[in-house]
Amino acid sequence: MNRFLGLSHFFLLEVKRLLLGAKFMVEVDVTDNCNLRCKHCYHFHAKKSLEKKEVPLEEWEKRFSGLHNAGARFILLVGGEPALREDVLMLADKTFPFVYVITNGTIRIPKEFNHRIYISVDGSQNTNDSIRGKGTFERILKNYSGDKRVVINMTLMKGNYRDLEEVVKISKENGFNGVVCNIYTFAIGVKTPLTIKEERKEIIGELKRVKSLYPNDLLLSKPMIKWYEYPDHRDYCHWGDNALHFDVSWKKRRCFGDNADCSNCGCLAGSFQSPLRMLSHPSEMLKIGFV
């Protein structure tokens, strides 16, 4: 699909949602399993129980068919590590026009999957590996260097946000499509050494500084960065309220994790706000969302 036609179709789907109430965006846990245990992962901090047994592909065929018949056209595949279920990813590829994956990058997704791939990189090699596990940085570059499907997805925390400029340089050097950022959002009742409440202003300042230096490579627009300045979005969040969200057992929820602290939100998907608001920054949206 032509990138501009794809963007236009996306906005038409939002108009249809506004008129008819038909939700077209879906976020799904493909699996509860993962080959890493990153220090900050909301999936393993927030979930009370995990489904270790994989759901058969036949069940995913029923699920995806039902979603498509109900009007779903935009699907975000997360986990766990979704690349562990290549069969589900390729099924989504055949079912939906807009497919997005958030992956740790240690398992290569086949080139036949021609959709946007967000790969988690959380700093320079030493910083990233201290968070995500030794050797993960090298494995990501071995698997994906030069791959234009890739956007780096960096989670900013008090121990790594000063690496943001370095991560943008890594993206440019490896021919990726740019960098987006979350701000670490912790689970309610879970204490970790990664809390960033006190550093949030400094993180916002660093986002603005790097955006001024690399406007075409840091893909957060100025409205998105502004959204991060006001972290409490419990009263309204387009992503939480107007997309469908399912865990791997097909239980509905409001967002990525039932136990996330939305009073201190740093979710990239939330920062988009709404498809119509995206009209104010189309260049970033084309690179973020349309291969």
Domain ranges of the chain: 3-289
Superfamily (CATH H level) for 3-289: Aldolase class I (3.20.20.70)
> Are the C-beta atoms of residues 286 and 5 closer than 8 Å to each other?
no
Nearest CA to 154 among 145, 163, 144?
163
Measured distance CA(230)–CA(208) in Å, rounded: 15
Is the overall model pTM greater than 0.95, yes or no? no
Q: What is the DSSP letter of 260?
A: B
For residue 224, the one-letter residue type is M
Tokens representing 88?
């589900």
Residue with tokens 């706000």: 273
Tens digits of pLDDT across the chain (291 residues): 556 667 778 888 888 898 888 899 999 999 999 988 777 776 665 555 667 899 999 999 999 999 999 999 999 999 899 999 999 999 999 999 999 999 999 999 999 999 999 999 999 999 999 999 999 999 999 999 999 999 999 999 988 999 999 999 999 999 999 999 999 877 666 655 555 667 888 999 999 999 999 999 999 999 899 999 988 888 888 888 999 999 999 999 888 766 677 788 888 888 888 877 776 667 777 777 755
User: What does DSSP assign to residue 162?
Assistant: G
Question: b/e string for 244-266 if b means 16 or more Cβ within 10 A?
Answer: bbebbeeeebebbbeebbbebbb
Per-residue pLDDT, 9:
80
Count CA atoms closer than 13 A to 117's CA, side-chain side: 29
Residue 76 phi/psi, 5-degree rounding, is -110, 120
Q: Which long-range contacts (CB under 8 A, 24 or more apart) does 87-92 make?
A: 87/57, 87/60, 88/30, 88/31, 88/57, 88/60, 89/30, 89/113, 91/57, 91/60, 91/61, 91/64, 92/64
C-alpha–C-alpha distance, residues 49 and 71, integer Å: 30
Core vs surface per residue 23-61: b (16+ CB within 10 A) or e: bbbbbbbbbbbbeeebbbbbbbbbbeebbeebbeeeebe
CA angle (186 as vertex; 193, 35 as ends), nearest 5: 85
